[in-house]
Amino acid sequence: MHQSASPDMSRQLAEAPVGRLLLKLAVPTVLAQLVNLLYNIVDRIYIGHMPVVGETALTGVGLCFPVIYLLSAFAMLLGQGGAPRASIEMGKGNNQEAEQILGTCFTSLILTAIPLTVIFLVFSEPMLYLFGASDNTIVYALPYMRIYTSGSLFVMLALGLNLFITTQGYTNFSMAAVLIGAVTNIVLDPVFIYAFDMGVSGAALATILSQALSAAFIVWFLVKSPHTTLRVRRQYLRPQKKILLPVLALGLAPFVMQATEAILNVAFNSSLRRYGGDVAVAAMTIASTVMQMVWLPAQGIGQGAQPIISYNYGAKNPKRVKRAVWVMLAISAIYMVVLWAAVQLFPQIFILLFNSESEALMETGTWALRVYTAVMCLLAILLAAQQAFLSTGKAKASLVIACMRKVVLLIPLIYILPHFFENKVFAVFLAEPVADFISVAVSALLFVTIFLRDIRAMEREQKKQL
């Protein structure tokens, strides 16, 4: 059994001061998410600034978001379902079981990517019309979607397997994996879009080539690197039902969160196109991208805390689990409040980032962005509760939070609220903060009644043993 770097990292997870260790692990994961964000927004920035057609092309690319979210959802199903379970096994000293989880997830990611690629390529055009495409925007959406989905395997391996590097505590390497792809994407985007005059097709091609490089680095690290504790081993590549089912159970919540983003995107775009036309859809593309700009780095904070929480939960050390969760919540809250204030005070800056030509988009986007992000400052509570449940293997509670915000609240509100407001476009954007506020309240209640109760039970057990 390969044990390189394991004793040192395990000792840090078990003994190092929690605040300092969380910052050490979170800085690379936050940077990785910031860099990952560049994957999502660089294309949109370049496309939005294309002469004459920028606004329409940006709307077209925005229509592809549901597919991007779905691919990410399946990667999270296996990555976020498997990585915390692997870390909990490491905390128990069961590295062989952790490698069996890694092998099962590796093969399952490949077997999932193949049929998804075929489905998206065959049904791309009808799907885009379902998502809200018009005759003006389909000419930009269709080539982007076909090229992007051709690289589904690279996207899923890069997103799903990188979590197995993070969960071991090697966040510098997980950041490097994302950095390799993002820098490549930033360099290739202007070359393909402008120099080769490929437009949106060039943006999609640049993204897929970049994801391929990231995936190659991650696979190399988990197979060949002397630094990794867990390895992809041939004898563990055959998916095992007893391993896969618990992985899928835990991964169901992040899967639902990402998959419902796809449904949400369709609901938002179809409603906004009906009430406000392509300008309203473009405003939503910007608003949802800005939300990603805030949410993804906040997720990085949670991912930095995850190895500490999972390892110490497996090692039955409730004091360190609780400390890691509170530090994660405090850092996330400060970050969220600062970004929320920036968006509320200066929404025009965020809109100019994507388009500087359309006065109609500036006018609609300014108030829409403020409404859409109105209670974003509270989402740190939801994020901390979700991460705490995921990191300790509480699949049901995690799933409740995931379903509550989007399936139970947001999607119905998108269609219900316009019946109560004269300004229908305003009503659609208002659905987001209303759903967020209720979801935060439910998350806080679940956190107190389930997670903290579990930690107190662990503390009582620990006292009995003493």
Residue 1 lies in a domain: no
- pTM, rounded to two decimals: 0.72
Residue 113 lies in a domain: yes
Residue 5 lies in a domain: no
Residue 7 lies in a domain: no
pLDDT per residue as tens digits for the range 370-416: 999 999 999 999 999 988 888 888 878 888 887 888 889 999 999 99
Residue 161 lies in a domain: yes
pLDDT tens, N- to C-terminus, the chain (466 residues):
333 334 566 778 777 788 888 888 888 777 777 776 776 677 667 776 666 566 677 777 777 878 888 898 999 999 989 988 898 888 888 889 989 999 999 999 999 999 999 999 999 889 888 877 777 878 888 898 999 999 999 999 999 999 899 888 787 888 889 889 888 988 898 899 888 888 788 888 998 999 999 999 999 999 988 888 888 898 899 988 999 999 998 888 788 878 887 788 788 888 988 898 878 888 888 888 888 888 878 888 888 888 888 888 888 888 888 899 999 999 999 999 999 999 999 999 988 887 776 788 899 889 999 999 999 999 999 999 988 888 888 878 888 887 888 889 999 999 999 999 999 999 999 999 999 999 999 999 999 998 888 888 888 887 777 6
Amino acid type, 359:
E
The domain tally of the chain equals 1
Residue 8 lies in a domain: no
Residue 392 lies in a domain: yes
Range of the domain at 216: 17-465
